[in-house]
Amino acid sequence: MKFDQPAQANPIDRMQVVGRPIDRIDGPRKVSGTAPYAFERHDIAADPAYGWVIGAGIARGRIASMDISAARAAPGVLAIVTADNAGALDKGKRNTAKLLGGPQIDHYHQAIAVVVAQTFEQARAAAQLVQVRYAPGGGDFDLERQRDQAKVPKDDGMGSPGATQVGNFDAAFEQAAVKVDANYSTPDQSHSMMEPHATLAMWKGDQLTVWTSNQMIDWGAEDLAKTLGLRKEQVRVVSPFIGGGFGGKLFLRADVLMAALGARASGRPVKVALQRPLIPNNTTHRPATIQRVRIGAKRDGTITAIAHDSWSGDQPGGGPETAVNQTRLLYAGENRHTALHLAELHLPEGNAMRAPGEAPGMMALEIAMDELAEKLGIDPIEVRRINDTQVDPEKPSRRFSQRQLVECMRLGAERFGWQGRSPVPGIRREGRWLIGMGMAAAFRNSLTMKSAARVKLEKSGRVVVETDMTDIGTGSYTILAQTAAEMMAVGVDQVSVRLGDSSLPVSCGSGGQWGANNSTAGVYAACVALRRAVAGKLGLNAEDAVFAQGKVGNPGGTMVALTQATSDGELVGEDAIEYGDLAKTFQQSTFGAHFVEVGVDMHTAEIRVRRMLAVCAAGRILNPKTARSQVIGAMTMGVGAALMEELAVDKRYGFFVNHDLAGYEVPVHADIPHQDVIFLDETDPTSSPMKAKGVGELGICGVGAAVANAVYNATGVRVRDYPVTLDKLLTRMPDAA
């Protein structure tokens, strides 16, 4: 199905199933422990072997020698795979560094071997017997030191330019009546999902099947085949349930390759789970940024000049953290400049994590907007309202398809009690606590991507949806079932959904906030094909046929049960949603506003988040319950980024020191006592037949700045370097007397 014109009225608009807060249909399996995660697939192989991955002990250099003799002779050991005996390996096009290192080492904890044994404990014990001698080489591990060597890339890796310029920023900024010119920084961060990167691999002849934890099934199959020198059809990737990904499982990682190599070498099915300490250093992470934001404005608050530069680093051949994306679109201003600066670093790969680009970018931009508002003496919400725009500021001929930023801020201020905020920092006190409120705009682009599905109508009347779409805890099973139920006019309990298998039609996958809108649109397209098949079987006009309450018929005519169409066997509809140029004609984005209230202990500078509110405008909300869960989770991650998350870099030896869940802090329930979410009633007919967008990553964008702004409002201490920890406040706290 080609989607190249704005959607008109269609069956989804009935909203009898879509748009309802239906419980997640996969919930009972997850709470009962019967949802099969990759490492828990006990039904696949009765007696699998286990692999233990050995990670490099240096960040850059070469393996001078590796002695595996003692490990090979250890009890239960079946095989040891290294670069010397793995055979010829290529590199997946989405991998920056090789997944199996040796003799050259690209980063610390790069996989250099897998020890396969009868039991997990035997594999772990034997791995300790492998003796590796290294010839360390020099590397660059400090973004600040490499800042001056950073270069502006041709593009951001997603098709947008590395730098943009509109008007004459320098002249306009020089002449501005009010100016903000400040540097901000965000640290390296880790995804910290509960489920580690884990895989069970099994060969049958030259056919490889991996049961793994992966967000993008087709990408994984393609890159695994390329790495192993196989045809894509020789590889099957299965991932029906994922215990958290957040971008860290978008791409093929070492667990998959090492399980496949171990299984081939041992002749046994092999399970591999990356040890928790390997995950930050072996897989991807969010790279640190240094950002400079400059804003010039008139006394009335109108922005006349806005610039945003961001520096980040990655492995050779990698890409930048796209932290200036939102600044190109969020606020008006005639004179504009944005640029990404990419330094070559030899830390582990930097890549997608929890709203890449906008999440760290807005942590800087939205503090700068708060600083501008203070210099102007204008309320922060009013400054943002003054500089709202209904067109792309860099391309004024292109309008936003929907843009309700001002309404999000207005409603949020009303519900949160913004009028009770003191514009003077450090005034409001409750006992030993300084109380402050902060807010920030929320912005995240809405991306469209081809997505396919197959929908069957069985003889029993049950509808079966099949697509390789994944569910990373976001509710894909449920919203796809709701889509099919709405289109075929049956109850959700009459729909079965099969996901996460590369043998199924290729979907958009889960990531970048594109999953919900595009995958449901693919199911919509397949259901349109199935409705035609049903109508044709019953001799009805497909364009006029009415589907309602499990029946079908002509308008005003007799309705018959859907099962009459399947008297001779099941019917199948298969199609994909393919997009035209609407995303080029209209700027498709999601908007919101975040509000945060904090308490800061005036003696210790301990920060406590007291309450949070997110107001979101993100097209049609397909399931308010699952969407709310996503946004609350994202808000929680935003608090983590603001107050605690930081990978500590050993800049001498090039690794992340706090590479486990004991040393890398993330928020827990007790950290945030109250969160609320409001969705605006919105549809966007330019986005897809579903008139939906995505919302999960919108929930994190702006949260960090809202927290930092609230801390400033409470204390009068402006922190521009995340995370906002008490040591950055203590020496500047107001008098406690």
Tokens matching residue 570? 């099941």
3-state secondary structure of 457: strand
How many residues in total does the chain contain?
737
Integer Cα distance of 497 and 491 in angstroms: 13
Among residues 24, 52, 40, which one has the least CA distance to residue 242? 40
Residue 580 neighbours by CB distance under 10 Å: 12
CA pseudo-torsion sign 344, 346, 349, 350: negative
- Selected catalytic residue, list 366, 597, 682, 697: 697
The residue among 439, 251, 269 whose CA lies nearest residue 348 is 251
Asked if residues 347 and 107 have their Cβ atoms less than 8 Å apart, the reply is yes
Angle between helices 358-376 and 703-715 (to 10 degrees): 30
- The encoded tokens of residue 633 equal 């989770």
Owner of token pair 């997505």: 451
Phi, psi of 610 (to 5 degrees): -95, -45
Token pair for residue 431?
Answer: 């006992």
Q: Could you tell me which residues are beta bridge partners of residue 433?
A: 430, 601
Per the annotation, the verdict on 697 as an active-site residue is yes
Measured distance CA(17)–CA(165) in Å, rounded: 46
If DSSP codes are grouped into helix, strand and coil, which group holds residue 38?
A: helix
| Interatomic CA distance for residues 460 and 457, integer angstroms | 8
Joined tokens for residue 259:
């399980």
Of the candidates 311, 417, 324, 416, the residue with the CA atom closest to the CA atom of residue 365: 324
Q: What is the DSSP string of 692-727?
A: B---TTTTTTTHHHHHHHHHHHHHS----BSS--GG
53 contact partners, CB below 8 Å, separation of at least 6: 111, 113, 114, 254, 255, 258, 272, 274, 275, 278, 282
Residue 64 to residues 61, 67, 103, 134, 137, Cα–Cα distance (Å): 9, 10, 7, 5, 12
Widest CA span of the chain, in angstroms? 85
Q: Which residues are catalytic?
A: 697
